[in-house]
Chain A
Amino acid sequence: MGALLQYIQSYLSSDKTPGAAGNFFWATVYILLVFLGLSVAVIAMNWLERKILAHMQVRLGPMRVGPHGLLQPIADAIKLLLKEDIMPAEADGLVFWTAPLIVVLAAFTVFVVVPFGPAHAITDMNIGILFMLGVSSLSVLGIVMAGWASNSHYPLMGALRSSAQMVSYEVAMGLAVVSVIIMTSLNDQGTGTLSMIGIVQSQMAQGEWFVFKFFPLGLIGFAIFAIAMVAETNRAPFDLPEAESELTAGFHTEYSGFRWSLFFLAEYSAMIAVSSIAVTLWLGGWLRPFPNWLHGATWDLIFSLVPGITFLLLGAITFFNVVRMPKHPLFKIQTIGLAGFGAVLGLIGLLLFLPPVRDRVGDIFWFSAKVAGFMYLYIWYRGTFPRYRFDQLMKVGWKVLLPTGLGLLILTAGVGMRTEIWKAIQGATQR
């Protein structure tokens, strides 16, 4: 018993990830936490997308289930679970059944290496970024299988579009990623890293987020990735595989109930996954903003208070809305519920002010905040852009992003090696 306790406690003082420390107990805890957090994030994202999109479009969005529709995602989940699970008579049973599983597995597995902080990842792999790209590329298989197994024209066309699109944009995405990996190698040893934590640490060591590195090269790479990642996740304006005005619902037209909700879950967790890659590679991962400009112990303290303040602010906004609730007896329960929600947010905020919590949660907060920024962008795109046509999409991928990515790669390597190249030229001219 004592040994077990010691085994559990031994990790707490470590500054490694549970995977790297080889601590099975904490690895399991982390896996459960990430899984839970991801599910909550998908639920929250569902509600936020509907609300934000609604407000962009001069409407209110969900308002009925719970105060301001807060319980709407839960109602939706219950509805989806209770719905009849239909399989077309001519469908290929086994493939139809496995397709959503593959998509969900791929979408969740990538989170094994996502670094929420220097010690807050399930594990740190030597091939972290390669692992993420590889496993997330497996989700195409699920989509293709779903489209084919449905034995119907619209899903098949959706699947064809989707596979072509994802394979094409993976190339540009890979080139942008490689340019970052080149940037990580600009140190004394001259060796780069593929590890997600290593990439953030090298940004810390170089004192610069890779978006700003070799301006504007880092920015271009980031832009390529940011475009390609929207295409990878099949979201507007690249949502051709599920373009509802052309293909009804694309590859998941024939899916219903729980299996459809698995696709939904996978789509949103894939969005979070690619956003995490972008944050890790270009936006300094868990590092707080302005580390060079606003440094020193005072600023560190102020920035460490930001998470708590954010939650207090959210709580305050909630309470403001509690006051604005209609004063009708029928709204009593809703008002109390909203007040309770605000109180929970406020309490979380207060909890985040405690020094031990503050120190341990700061990384996670900054990482999540940056990812949340990307999530907002996704919603914003959806509210603004029309949809690309298929040939235009391919043109953008192969004729714009790919050449830009190749040029970027060469330039980044050249600028990174400029002193060596310069020396070589000098040596040649002297001889």
Chain B
Amino acid sequence: MNPPVATTFFFYLLAAIMLIGGVFVITRKNAVHSALALIATLLAQAGIYLMLYAPFVAGVQIILYAGGIMVLFLFVIMLISIERSLKERMLNRQWVVGGLAALALGALFISVYVKGKNLFPTPKVPVFETNNTQTVGNLLYGQYMFPFEIASLLLLVAIIGAVVMAKKRI
């Protein structure tokens, strides 16, 4: 018998890493430190996916976000002068408005959670681990074929746009 992976301890551990990482992302003055905190957050998120018996999503999360996108983030950040951003002030004059908006959003979430408990579906028995990848594949290339292709087309447009913006003379 497999011992359960999804213990409460691990959930709280990963959630704490995510939260602390998230706070660091916005509070660090040094952009590289922020990016590293974001990587920690993303890795913890991959751990949460594993706990939800979605190993494929977790693996893709690591490869794409932590290994790919964040490397490019760092790549760009390293090219920018860090000294200037260190001198800038963290908060501008709109922080009151921002704080109010954040509070309102939080209140909305809580109210939805409290009032609409019955709206959420009851937790299902987790999908058996071994079939996860195949299930994802079948869904992507079966039921959700059209949205999938639309998404890839959007990405292509984004790539071409990026190239056009970066290079004046092609």
Contact = CB atoms under 8 A, between A and B. Distances in A.
Interface of A: 22, 92, 94-95, 125-127, 130-131, 133-135, 137-138, 140-141, 144-145, 147-148, 156, 159-160, 163-164, 166-167, 170, 191, 194
Contact of B68 (A95, A156, A164, A170): A170
A201 B124 CA distance: 33
Interface in B74-100: 74-75, 78-79
A135 B62 contact: yes
Chain B interface extent, by class: 20 to 34
B67 A138 contact: yes
Main secondary structure of the interface of B (DSSP, over half): helix
A159 B32 CA distance: 14
B51 interface: no
Given A95-B32, A148-B74, A191 B62 contact: no
B59 A144 contact: no
Contacts of A141: 39, 66-67, 70-71, 74
B134 A127 contact: no
A47 B36 CA distance: 36
Interface of B: 1-3, 30, 32-33, 36, 39, 55-56, 58-60, 62-63, 66-68, 70-72, 74-75, 78-79, 129-130, 132-134
Interface of A is mostly: helix
A133 B133 CA distance: 16
Contacts of A163: 71-72, 74-75
Contacts of A95: 32-33, 36
A167 B78 contact: no
Contact of B67 (A94, A148, A156, A170): A170
Contacts of A147: 78
B29 to A, nearest CB: 12
Contacts of A194: 56, 133
Nearest to B134: A191
Given A126-B129, A127-B133, A145 B36 contact: yes
